[in-house]
Structure 1
Amino acid sequence: MRALAKLEQVLPARLRHRVAALSSATVPLPAGGPTVGPDVLTAIAATVRDHERLRFDYVGHDGGSSRREVEPHRLVNRGRRWYLVAWDVSRGDWRTFRVDRMTPKIPTGPRFTPREAPGGDIADFVTRGLDLAVWRYRASLRLHAPAAAVASRLPPVVTVEPEGEDRCVIHAGADSYAMLAVYATMLDVDFEVLDPPEFADHLRRQAARYLRAAGSAPSGQ
């Protein structure tokens, strides 16, 4: 975001409004991911600024493609990854889209009257919605530990649900099962995989790898 401010200072007046639109249409979040071309960002930011519907092709986390038409509300930056928060016209609900998976279409759609932001806090909406909206791999686990203790040690994108006084269920998303395994083991508590079976298979392979590594190491007597 500091780079945007520096860029705006050196641009000629006729181009400053484009960077200003991008800056005003974004909300920063703490934390990394693929880069997005500046032409795509400025095009989307312009629709946010001008309250114009945006049409685009979108590739979901499962690799499937779809055509979307939305009322763009705000761009959100999280490290090197960009998200668009928008009202999905055909689905009648708020959605979060990864910008690197979007291919905007020209021309843009008609103007619209902006809706009230979901929950009143765009950054919080995106943070809490990342697991459901954009991660390629997801898992639900039952941890044998109190929810409060677990929540204090996990990032906000992991949802923690209490299940009695000494257990909880977490819902996490990541770009790989290896990263999900980090969430499962970083707390050093007993846990069970609720879903999906593929994640349980991944843990079995990892466990076998760890056992082989432990068996080849000298005894620490």
Structure 2
Amino acid sequence: MTTDTPARLLQLLSLLQTPREWPGGELAERLGVSRRTVRRDIDRLRELGYPVQATLGADGGYRLVAGKAMPPLVLDDEEAVAIAVGLRAGAGHAVEGVDEASVRALAKLEQVLPSRLRHRVSTLQAATTPLTSGDGARIAPETLTVMASTVAGHERLRFAYRAGDGTESRRLTEPYRLVSTGRRWYLVAYDLDRDDWRTFRVDRVSDPFATGARFAPRELPTGSAAEYLRRSIQRRQETYEFTVAFAAPADVVAARLPGWLGTPEPDGERGCVVRGATGDPVEWLAIRLAMAGVDFVVREPAELVECVRELGGRLSRAGG
């Protein structure tokens, strides 16, 4: 019998977070208490914001349902390790969709993981090889979690940086946002030594160190970190402009394309147009546009038009 009420509540919450309905009698047996105590504990959880739903019947049942807010979760050892490994894998490969929010979640989780579980996570990751490929550089998840923590906490970040030409330097920054382009992670930050905004490829960062010094966030020159990164890449690379018309509303296309490619603009009743610039190979852009899962027509440049035509023919032949 569990006489410690907080411990019993945590155990009850852990059971309820399993996606099933629990009869009151089974919960009482699991916890070693009476059904009346179970009912009181359910009321305590509701007072804490957990949406526990009760069903009528001979035995009655309880289940945790979706509420208006996200209450704290209780994870057992295996669940915590599984989530940490999954987030680390996504963060380390700059998987599109695993953005800054996911990295922040990883930072929070690893901060509270006991050392024994942290060791299990590291061991499991070191012993596995992901079946992925591409030209995106791999990044140590620890680098991303340190950066995400300083972004969220408005804390100055110091790190070593290797530029594209091989020049190495030490940087002291006020980190603003982490941005994933699908192949790479970038840090948008204010460089205190150069007194200006900069973008840094995270795979070229080493020895990130949170200084502990807080700062008041500055206003970014452009509306969003993704837009600032897109313009920064355009200035540094030999880029080409492109225009693509999609047979879907702007909000649908915006949800399926990375923001740095450009902002969809309405075009007609049910279509939209994306205008942007990139230094990526036309082959990669063609594939990325196709991954949106929406019919589209490339208007320019001619090289991208020809690439899409060849790619379409190749895929048609491959499908018989």
Instruction: Please give the TM-score of this superposition, normalised by the length of structure 2.
Output: 0.39
Q: Is the 8 A contact 1:87 1:95 kept in 2?
A: yes
Tell me the alpha carbon deviations over residues 52-106 of structure 1, each in whole angstroms, 9 at most, x when there is no partner: 66552233xxxx4444645232453759964322124576542332311224599
Q: Map residues 107-186 of structure 1 onto 2, 5 A cutoff.
A: 116-118=218-220, 125-133=224-232, 140-144=241-245, 149-154=249-254, 155-157=257-259, 158-160=261-263, 162=265, 168-171=273-276, 177-185=282-290, 186=293
Rounded to whole Å, the distance in 2 between the matches of 1:93 and 1:189 is 39
- In structure 2, the partner of 1:193 is 300
3-state SS in 1 of match to 2:138: coil
Structure 2 distance, partners of 1:39, 1:156, is 23
Contact 1:181 1:203 in 2 (8 A): yes
Q: Which amino acid aligns with 2:308?
A: L
Higher helix share: 2
CA distance in 2, matches of 1:6, 1:44: 12
- Count, aligned residues: 184
C-alpha distance in 1 between matches for 2:275 and 2:185: 25
* Residue matched to 2:86: none
Does 2:173 match 1:71? yes
Q: For 2:226, give the aligned amino acid.
A: T
Query: Given residue 87 of structure 1, which amino acid in structure 2 is its aligned partner?
Result: Y
Structure 1 match to 2:67: none
CA distance in 1, matches of 2:183, 2:298: 32
- Where structure 2 has 5 or more consecutive residues not aligned to the other structure, the ranges are 1-103, 116-135
Superposed CA RMSD in Å reads: 5.1
Q: Percent identity?
A: 18
Matches within 5 A, 1:49-88: 51=156, 54-59=159-164, 64-67=165-168, 69-74=171-176, 76=178, 82-88=185-191
- Secondary structure (helix, strand or coil) at the match of 1:190 reads strand
In structure 1, what is the Cα distance between the partners aligned to 2:228 and 2:266?
A: 21
Q: CA deviation at 1:115?
A: 5.1
Larger radius of gyration: 2
Normalised to the residue count of structure 1, the TM-score between the two structures is 0.52
Higher strand share: 1
Higher relative contact order (CA 8 A, sep 6+): 1
